[in-house]
């Protein structure tokens, strides 16, 4: 990495540091990629700005998982192109999944205003791409395949919003073939990050004061399967827990059938593993799950949840679900509602099915009309709201353990092990970066309001 950066010139041709405005769309993987991009740009002398109008470089890290994020990116490009009227040397860059999917076509659609384009495969080529763009050439590099040196960029420091917890990408890509999903096209096949690289990054982060580690991957529970000598994901969890100073561990996103018994056992045994898990189920109908190419049944999914609750009785579950997948009947939808009733998710991310170009489901003839999707979505949200209101009550009078990460207007704010926001009226800023027991007095759906118990 150093070598790559040394080859490039620092960018200050106007004797003032250049400013970059970065906008990130999509999932946590994209957030982590942006943190890495910020690390590279900081090393090149860039300063960050939250006002795109004063930027020398506007960078959009894009998502294409559904049609909505696609449209958002194009709308933003339409606005940001005005930066070139303010500053004719300003550059516009687009990276991430939409860049990977559309390549030069995206530049055409945006009216030829894009100067730099790359994807999650080649973030570490950004210095060379910038150099090219600053010479006035278009710097578009969309690779068909991830390069061999793609984990090299992970040796490089990230710029994170918060000093106390950190995302760690441990694998990329996805080998599943869900018929609705564009991700295998944009992020490629599964590649697990070598264990030593993961452990080294975590050790460095802990030295800097990070307490909570959030492991990331499109399919994080499949980590280690693609090594010449496969290593179970549970082994990685035990190894991370052994590192001095790691106080909490989370991981996203799990795939139900890869959440094997050894992982569930590890979740029960490792005290630092958070009392929260995001486990998408997508549909409650076995017929639809089969059409989606999801390799589990409704019963198997629920069984995983019951097993999890045996080892972690307080676990707060969250999930993703798709409404109106092609061919979904009223009966199929009722099966989805049944999973919601039974699983009792603390948070549910629900999406209307959105056909993605080049995916098998987009070609299925029995697409569900939008008004049916909308009507089902309303019913689903109604049910979920009821469940969330009931679940919130379980916190009242209980002790939770937030990691305080922010102080604002007389309040300390942090996330509990169950991934709930906790607020305590206090000026004790010395508690930032600490996991502290808090008694909950009042619980709303998203925030637990509490006070310190007397010994603190």
Is 322 a binding residue for ligand 5AD by CB under 6 A? The answer is yes
Q: Looking at 28-36, 188-196, 293-301, 348-356, which segment touches ligand 5AD (CB under 6 A)?
A: 348-356
One residue of 180, 223, 401, 404 binding ligand 5AD per CB under 6 A = 180
Are the C-beta atoms of residues 133 and 116 closer than 8 Å to each other? yes
Alpha-carbon gap, residue 92 to 81, rounded angstroms: 8
Q: Give the CA distances from residue 413 to residues 72, 211, 417, 451, in Å, rounded to whole numbers and listed in that order.
A: 31, 15, 13, 12
- Residues whose CB falls within 8 Å of the CB of residue 8, separated by 6 or more in sequence, listed in order: 44, 127, 128, 130, 131
Is 183 a binding residue for ligand SF4 by CB under 6 A? The answer is yes
Alpha-carbon gap, residue 155 to 215, rounded angstroms: 16
Q: Which is nearer to ligand SF4, 134 or 354 (CB)?
A: 354
Query: Can you name the residues that pair with 12 across neighbouring β-strands?
Result: none
Stretch 83-122 residues interacting with ligand SF4 (CB under 6 A): 96-97
Q: Give me the residue whose beta carbon is nearest to ligand SF4.
A: 26
Alpha-carbon gap, residue 18 to 256, rounded angstroms: 46
Query: Can you name the residues that pair with 57 across neighbouring β-strands?
Result: 20, 91
CB of 64 to ligand SF4, least distance (A): 5
Is 356 a binding residue for ligand 5AD by CB under 6 A? The answer is yes
DSSP-derived 3-state class of residue 207? helix
CB of 180 to ligand 5AD, least distance (A): 4
CB of 444 to ligand SF4, least distance (A): 28
Q: Looking at 242-250, 349-357, 376-384, 404-412, which segment touches ligand 5AD (CB under 6 A)?
A: 349-357
Residue 264 contact, options ligand SF4, ligand 5AD, none, Cβ 5-8 Å cut-off depending on partner type: none
Residue 52 contact, options ligand 5AD, ligand SF4, none, Cβ 5-8 Å cut-off depending on partner type: none
Q: Which is nearer to ligand SF4, 186 or 283 (CB)?
A: 186
Q: Looking at 26-34, 159-167, 255-263, 370-378, which segment touches ligand SF4 (CB under 6 A)?
A: 26-34
Q: Which residues of 65-106 form beta strands (DSSP E)?
A: 91-96
Q: How many residues of this chain bind ligand SF4 (CB under 6 A)?
A: 14
Q: Looking at 79-87, 131-139, 182-190, 407-415, which segment touches ligand SF4 (CB under 6 A)?
A: 182-190
One residue of 20, 29, 267, 289 binding ligand SF4 per CB under 6 A = 29
Q: Which is nearer to ligand SF4, 83 or 292 (CB)?
A: 292
Q: Tokens for 238, please give them.
A: 């035990």
Are the C-beta atoms of residues 44 and 8 closer than 8 Å to each other? yes
Q: Which residues of 353-435 form beta strands (DSSP E)?
A: 399-400, 403-408, 411-415, 421-425
Is 65 a binding residue for ligand SF4 by CB under 6 A? The answer is yes
Q: Which is nearer to ligand SF4, 70 or 247 (CB)?
A: 70
Residue labelled with tokens 């092609």: 326
State residue 154 phi and psi, 5-degree precision: -80, -5
Is 181 a binding residue for ligand 5AD by CB under 6 A? The answer is yes
DSSP-derived 3-state class of residue 286? helix
Alpha-carbon gap, residue 334 to 310, rounded angstroms: 27
Residues in the chain: 456
Q: x/- site string to ligand 5AD, residues 64 to 83, per CB under 6 A? A: -xx-----------------
Residue labelled with tokens 């994080």: 220
State how beta strands 316-323 and 347-352 pair. parallel
Q: Looking at 35-43, 228-236, 346-354, 373-381, which segment touches ligand 5AD (CB under 6 A)?
A: 346-354
Are the C-beta atoms of residues 413 and 446 closer than 8 Å to each other? no
- Note if the bond before 253 is cis, omega within 30 degrees: yes
Stretch 30-49 residues interacting with ligand SF4 (CB under 6 A): 30
Are the C-beta atoms of residues 351 and 323 closer than 8 Å to each other? yes
Q: x/- site string to ligand 5AD, residues 264 to 303, per CB under 6 A? A: ----------------x-x---------------------
Binding site for ligand SF4 (CB under 6 A): 26-27, 29-30, 63-65, 96-97, 182-183, 186-187, 218
Binding site for ligand 5AD (CB under 6 A): 65-66, 180-181, 280, 282, 320, 322, 351, 353-354, 356
């Amino acid at each position: 990495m150093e070598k790559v950066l040394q080859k490039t010139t620092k960018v200050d041709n106007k004797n003032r540091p250049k400013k970059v405005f970065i906008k990130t769309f999509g999932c946590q993987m994209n957030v982590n990629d942006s943190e890495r991009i910020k690390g590279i740009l900081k090393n090149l002398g860039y300063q960050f700005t939250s006002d795109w109008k004063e930027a020398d470089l506007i960078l959009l890290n894009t998502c294409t998982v559904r049609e909505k994020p696609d449209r958002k990116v194009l709308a933003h490009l339409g606005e940001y192109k005005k930066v070139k009227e303010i500053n004719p040397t300003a550059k516009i860059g687009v990276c991430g999944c939409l860049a990977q999917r559309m390549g030069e076509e995206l530049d055409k659609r945006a009216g030829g205003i894009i100067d730099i384009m790359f994807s999650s495969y080649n973030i570490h080529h950004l210095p060379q791409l910038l150099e090219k763009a600053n010479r006035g050439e278009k710097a578009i590099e969309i690779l068909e395949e991830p390069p061999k040196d793609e984990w090299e960029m992970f040796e490089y420091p990230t710029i994170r919003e918060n000093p106390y917890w950190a995302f760690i990408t441990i694998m990329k890509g996805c080998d599943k073939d869900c018929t609705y999903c564009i991700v295998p096209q944009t992020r490629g096949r599964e590649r697990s990050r070598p264990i030593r690289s993961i452990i080294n990054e975590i050790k460095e982060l802990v030295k800097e004061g990070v307490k909570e580690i959030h492991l990331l991957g499109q399919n994080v529970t499949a980590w280690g399967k693609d090594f010449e000598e496969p290593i179970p994901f549970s082994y990685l969890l035990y190894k991370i827990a052994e590192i001095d100073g790691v106080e909490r561990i989370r991981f996203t996103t799990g795939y139900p059938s890869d959440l094997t018994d050894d992982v569930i056992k590890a979740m029960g045994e490792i005290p630092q593993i958070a009392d929260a898990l995001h486990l998408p189920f997508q549909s409650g109908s076995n017929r639809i799950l089969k059409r989606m190419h999801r390799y589990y049944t409704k019963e198997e999914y629920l069984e995983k949840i019951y097993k999890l609750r045996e080892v972690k009785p307080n676990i707060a579950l969250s999930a993703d679900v798709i409404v109106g997948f092609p061919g979904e009947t009223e009966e199929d939808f009722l099966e989805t509602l049944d999973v919601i009733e039974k699983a009792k998710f603390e948070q549910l991310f629900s999406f209307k099915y959105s056909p993605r170009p080049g995916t098998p489901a987009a070609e299925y003839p029995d697409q569900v009309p939008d008004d049916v999707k909308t009507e089902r979505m309303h019913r689903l949200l109604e049910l979920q709201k009821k469940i969330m209101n009931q679940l919130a009550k379980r916190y009242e009078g209980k002790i939770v353990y937030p990691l305080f990460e922010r102080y604002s207007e007389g309040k300390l704010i942090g996330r509990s092990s169950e991934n709930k926001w906790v607020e305590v009226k206090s000026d004790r800023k010395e508690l930032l970066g600490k996991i502290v027991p808090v008694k909950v007095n009042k619980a709303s759906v998203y925030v637990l309001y509490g006070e310190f118990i007397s010994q603190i």
